[in-house]
Amino acid sequence: MVRIRLIAVGRLKEKFYIGACEEYLKRLRTMANAEILELPEESGRPDGLRREAARILDAIPKQSYVIALCIEGKTMDSPGLARVLADAQNRGYSQIALIIGSSDGLDDSVKQRADLRLSMSPMTFPHHLARVMVLEQVYRALSINAGSKYHK
């Protein structure tokens, strides 16, 4: 069973985001060993992104396929993400790490560590909403790969 770690900078405060994340995490756990790791946000400090990056890089499990969510990343549809995850597993990766930075984004060192830079959309979304969207899309991708009827 693949391990999925969503590394997110900042804490969710809004109950509706928390509830949605919990729901998709519960669904994901039927197909993967999935977890969310929240890291402290350092926004507003001159070296904030660098400090966040150090924590993020330390939190990436060894031998992980790393997907960094960033505005300049590649866009893809849900079947495309399903293919990426299946390909990573076929190449021997048993762990997938997805990274969502703070509202200030991600330091270049994190982007350079990523195997894939992914953009959810050319539109701008709150990074807390992005967490829900990523969990749903990973669930959808694994459902596609499992032949489930969730993705229509």
Query: Could you tell me the pTM of the whole model?
Result: 0.95
pLDDT in tens, 67-101: 999 999 999 999 999 999 999 999 999 999 999 99
Residue 122: CB partners within 8 Å, gap ≥ 6? 75
pLDDT reported for residue 34: 98
32 lies in some domain: yes
State mean pLDDT over 112-141.
95
CA distances from 150 to 31, 42, 68, 102 (A): 13, 37, 25, 30
* Token reading at 75: 């866009």
Tell me whether residue 152 is in a domain: no
In a domain, 124, yes or no: yes
Residue 140 forms part of a structural domain: yes
Residue 136 lies in a domain: yes
Q: What percentage of residues in the chain have a pLDDT greater than 70?
A: 99
Burial, 85: exposed, middle or buried (Cβ in 10 Å; 0-12, 13-18, 19+)?
buried
Which residues does residue 34 pair with via DSSP β-bridges, in sequence order?
A: 4
Domain presence at residue 33:
yes
More confident call, 147 vs 45:
147
Q: Decide if 51 is inside a domain.
A: yes
Other Cβ atoms less than 10 A from the Cβ of 96: the count is 26
* Tally of domains in the chain: 1
Mean pLDDT, all residues of the chain:
95
Strand, coil or helix: 43: coil
Task: For residue 151, tell me if it sits in a domain.
Answer: no
Q: Which domain holds residue 20?
A: 3-146
Here the CATH number for the domain that contains residue 110 is 3.40.1280.10
Is the confidence at residue 151, as pLDDT, over 80? Answer: no
Burial string for 20-41 (b: 16+ CB within 10 Å, else e) reads bbeebbebbeebbebebbebeb
